[in-house]
C-alpha cells in the first residue's frame, strides 16, 4: 500500500487523515511541531490499528531542514513517499487587518505561505529523485476568492494555494510528479473555533451557519482519504463541500437541525 506523509497531523484534519489512511492499510508518517506529541500519536495509532505501519517526526514547516528531516524519516521507514499531504497551517484571530500585530502577520505568512512553498520544494525534489509521487495542497477559506471581514490575512494566504498549484504543475511538466488539491470544506477543529470570541454575537451568527455547512473531522477525513487513494491524475481535486451539497443543506436546514458545538461553553 501507499506511503503517506501528512504535515500537521497530531490533531484536527491531519490526525483524522492519518487514522483514515491507516484504516485503509497505508503506511503513514505523521508530524507536528512537538516531538513529544508526535511520539504520543505514533504510540496511540500503533495501538489502535493492529499491524499498522506508522512513523513520526517533529517538523516546523517554516524550516526547510525540518521538512527535509520529515522526508528522510518517511524514506527510512518505508523506502519511498507516494503521497505528501500539505495540511499544516495556522489562523489568527478574526480582526480588521490594522488591528493585527506585525508578529501575527509574519506568523501566518510564514506558516501558510512560506511553509507551503518550502514543503512543496522538499517534496518535489524528493519525488523527482525517486521517480514520481503525488502532492496534495490544502485549500481553505479564501482559496476560491471569497472574502469576509477579519480574514484578510488568512484568506490571502489560502488564495495563494490556487496560483501555487497551477504554477507547480507547470514546473512538474515532463515528470511523474502530480500536483493536486484537497478541499475539506468547513470542519469543526480548533482552527475553526479559535478565530472567535465564543461570547460574541459574531460567534452566534457564525455558529448558525456552521451548523448547516460544517462537519466533524471523523465525517470528512474518510471521504478525503478515499479520494486521494483513487486519484491518479495530475491536477486532481478532492472536495467535500461542493456547491451542490451546500445548496441542498441550506434548503434542508429548516427541517434538519444540527448541533455541532454542544460541548463548547457557548
pLDDT at site 191: 75
Q: Grid coordinates 466533524 are at which residue?
A: 216
Instruction: For residues 61-82, give the mean pLDDT.
Output: 98
pLDDT in tens, 119-130: 999 999 999 999
Entry pTM: 0.94
Instruction: For residues 178-189, give the mean pLDDT.
Output: 94
Q: Kindly provide the b/e burial profile for residues 225-256, where b requires at least 16 CB atoms within 10 angstroms of the residue's own CB.
A: bebbbebeebebebbbbeeeeeeebeeeeeee
Residues 27, 2 contacting (CB under 8 angstroms): yes
Task: Tell me the residue length of the chain.
Answer: 266
Instruction: For residues 129-142, give the mean pLDDT.
Output: 96
Map out the domains of the chain as residue ranges: 3-188+217-241
pLDDT at site 266: 46
CATH topology of domain 3-188+217-241: Rossmann fold (3.40.50)
Instruction: For residues 179-203, give the mean pLDDT.
Output: 84
Of the pLDDT bands very low, low, confident and very high (cuts 50, 70, 90), residue 91 is: very high
Which ranges of the chain would DSSP assign to H, the alpha helix?
Answer: 12-23, 35-48, 64-78, 102-109, 115-130, 152-171, 190-193, 201-213, 217-230, 243-252
Average predicted confidence (pLDDT) for the chain: 93
pLDDT at site 265: 52
Catalytic residue status for 163: no
DSSP per-residue codes, 83-140: EEEE----------GGGS-HHHHHHHHIIIIIHHHHHHHHHHHHHHHHT-EEEEEEP-
Of 154, 163, 196, 223, the active-site residue reads 154
pLDDT in tens, 138-151: 999 889 888 888 89
Of the pLDDT bands very low, low, confident and very high (cuts 50, 70, 90), residue 190 is: confident
Instruction: For residues 13-21, give the mean pLDDT.
Output: 98
Amino acid at each position: 500500500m501507499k506511503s503517506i506523509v501528512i504535515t500537521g497531523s497530531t490533531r484536527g484534519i491531519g490526525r483524522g487523515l492519518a487514522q483514515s489512511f491507516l484504516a485503509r492499510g497505508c503506511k503513514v508518517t505523521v508530524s507536528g511541531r512537538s516531538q513529544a506529541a508526535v511520539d504520543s500519536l505514533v504510540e496511540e495509532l500503533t495501538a489502535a490499528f493492529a499491524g499498522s505501519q506508522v512513523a513520526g517526526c517533529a517538523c516546523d514547516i517554516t524550516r526547510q531542514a525540518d521538512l527535509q528531516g520529515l522526508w528522510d524519516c518517511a524514506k527510512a521507514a518505508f523506502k519511498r513517499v507516494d503521497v505528501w499531504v500539505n495540511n499544516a497551517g495556522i489562523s489568527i484571530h478574526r480582526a480588521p487587518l490594522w488591528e493585527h500585530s506585525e508578529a501575527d502577520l509574519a506568523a501566518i505568512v510564514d506558516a501558510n505561505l512560506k511553509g507551503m512553498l518550502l514543503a512543496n520544494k522538499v517534496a518535489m525534489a524528493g519525488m523527482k529523485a525517486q521517480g514520481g509521487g503525488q502532492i496534495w495542497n490544502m485549500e481553505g477559506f479564501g482559496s476560491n476568492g471569497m472574502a469576509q471581514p477579519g480574514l484578510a490575512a488568512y484568506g490571502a494566504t489560502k488564495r495563494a494555494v490556487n496560483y501555487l498549484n497551477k504554477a507547480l504543475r507547470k514546473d512538474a511538466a515532463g515528470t511523474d510528479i502530480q500536483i493536486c488539491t484537497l478541499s475539506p470544506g468547513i470542519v469543526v477543529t480548533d482552527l475553526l473555533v479559535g478565530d472567535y470570541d465564543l461570547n460574541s454575537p459574531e460567534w452566534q451568527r457564525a455558529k448558525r451557519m456552521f451548523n448547516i455547512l460544517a462537519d466533524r473531522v471523523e465525517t470528512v477525513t474518510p471521504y478525503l482519504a478515499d479520494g486521494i487513494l483513487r486519484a491518479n491524475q495530475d491536477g486532481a481535486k478532492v472536495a467535500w463541500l461542493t456547491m451542490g451539497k451546500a445548496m441542498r443543506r441550506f434548503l434542508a436546514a429548516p427541517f434538519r437541525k444540527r448541533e455541532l458545538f454542544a460541548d463548547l461553553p457557548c
